[in-house]
Amino acid sequence: MAIVPIFTAMIRACIFDLDGVLVDTAHYHFLAWRRLANQLGFDFDEKANEALKGVGRMESLDIILGWGGLSKTRPEKEALAHQKNEWYRAYIREMTPGEVLPGVAGFLDQLDAQGIRKGIGSSSKNAKTILRQVGLTDRFEVIVDGTDLQRSKPDPQVFQLGAERLGLSPRECIVFEDAAAGIEAALAGGFWAVGVGDAEIFPGAHIAIPGLENLHWSALLEKLPL
Ligand code: BG6
Ligand code: MG
């Protein structure tokens, strides 16, 4: 009888979104955008804020202006985005290693022990500042951030660039994301997608986990339909 080889995908790297997966900057983005909306005369809540997660700065501003029924010229938009970023940067300048989310350091250690490579795939132009503030820069071999991108999540460009710089194919990489737009981006690029947070937010993800705390590499691999 002929022996039919069974090929299973080999995972060689994990690519992490930053905001909301490794650190809780998603909340600082919310506070700064909300302050801007309030200044413009309207409000929005954390539930509405879900739509902004993973989405680039100018794209987020367009969504928010839409909520307020406002239209602005390009120079006005640039001034508003700049103002929001100033408020946001005041938060991140105060960040310390204590703000790395629970379980992150331990999970990165597990990956090191298994020889799994690690990258960042973030839409944020502030990603490198945040990584430096919380002492995580040296833990990642490859960092793709908003300064590298022409297209915002849900476009897969951010993760494709990450895989390219690692010299790997998407099927060799697992993406960890807290945003619906990020999971969409990972799936569109052909990556394995792990949703971090409330499972309802990303029905398409291969797996959903509440966070990296108590996450075991071997248990995660068993759950992926490799
Ligand atoms: C993403 C955040 O990581 O970065 C979004 O989830 C944010 O909320 C985007 O809008 C861009 O961030 P920044 O720091 O460049 O304004
Ligand atoms: Mg995020």
CATH topology of domain 26-92: DNA polymerase; domain 1 (1.10.150)
Cα–Cα distance for residue pair 65/68, rounded to 1 Å: 5
Q: Global pTM?
A: 0.94
Length in residues, the chain: 226
Per-residue pLDDT tens, the chain, 226 aa: give them: 555 544 456 999 999 999 999 999 999 999 999 999 999 999 999 999 999 999 999 999 999 999 999 999 999 999 999 999 999 999 999 999 999 999 999 999 999 999 999 999 999 999 999 999 999 999 999 999 999 999 999 999 999 999 999 999 999 999 999 999 999 999 999 999 999 999 888 889 999 999 999 999 999 999 998 8
Return the ligand number nearest the Cα of 86.
1
Domain residue extents for the chain = 6-24+99-223, 26-92
- What residue's CA is closest to ligand 1, atom 12? 124
CB 57 within 8 A of CB 41: no
- What residue's CA is closest to ligand 1, atom 16? 57
Taking only the tens place, the pLDDT of each residue in 124-166 is 999 999 999 999 999 999 999 999 999 999 999 999 999 999 9
DSSP 3-state of 172: helix
The helix (run of H) or strand (run of E) holding residue 14 is: strand 13-16
Whole-number Å distance, alpha carbon 5 to ligand 2 midpoint, is 39
Substitution candidate for ligand 1 out of 57, 93, 95 with most atoms within 8 A of CB: 57
Q: Is 19 in the pocket of ligand 1 (CB under 6 A)?
A: yes
CATH for the stretch 6-24+99-223: 3.40.50.1000
CB 185 within 8 A of CB 155: yes
Return the ligand number nearest the Cα of 122.
1
pLDDT score recorded for residue 5: 47
Cα–Cα distance for residue pair 39/62, rounded to 1 Å: 16
